[in-house]
Amino acid sequence: MLKGKNAVVIGSTSGIGRAMATELANDCTDGVIHGFGQPEDIERERSKLDSKFDVKAYYLNAALSDAQAPPDLIATAAQALGGLDLLVNNAGIQNNPPIQESPVDNWHAIIALNLSAGFVGPESGWPNI
């Protein structure tokens, strides 16, 4: 069904996002993975998608809390893959200390990534793909 399509799975270096990227690769979908982690772990995962499923798999790093990062990530992914057909917006973080122990910077980081990164206005330069 998705063979020959191109996908970006944001937040795909672990958990649900990794599972989604794996299933898309299993369906012969070329793609871009994105997220946090140790470079060697990310490369191992990217390489596994590439070789196990015989797809083109790329990793792009972007700090999505920066307003320009999401449109830049999409434009770079579209260029690397030769176009985009599917975007899975799965990025998110959670810090779990008790609220009285949680610094306000944790709250700002959660809001910046979980809410603001998914809503960036046209002035940020979303690519026409």
The three state secondary structure string of 33-60 is ECCCCCHHHHHHHHHHHHHHHCCCEEEC
The answer to whether 7 and 49 are in contact (CB under 8 A) is: no
Please give the structure tokens belonging to residue 8. 């970006």
Please, what is the average pLDDT of the chain? Answer: 89
Q: Which residues contact 34 (CB under 8 A, 6 or more apart)?
A: 8, 9, 10, 11, 12, 13, 59, 60, 61, 62, 73, 91
DSSP reduced 3-state for 9: strand
pTM: 0.84
76-129 per-position pLDDT tens digit = 999 999 999 999 989 888 877 888 888 999 888 888 888 887 776 555 566 666
Q: What percent of the chain has pLDDT over 70?
A: 91
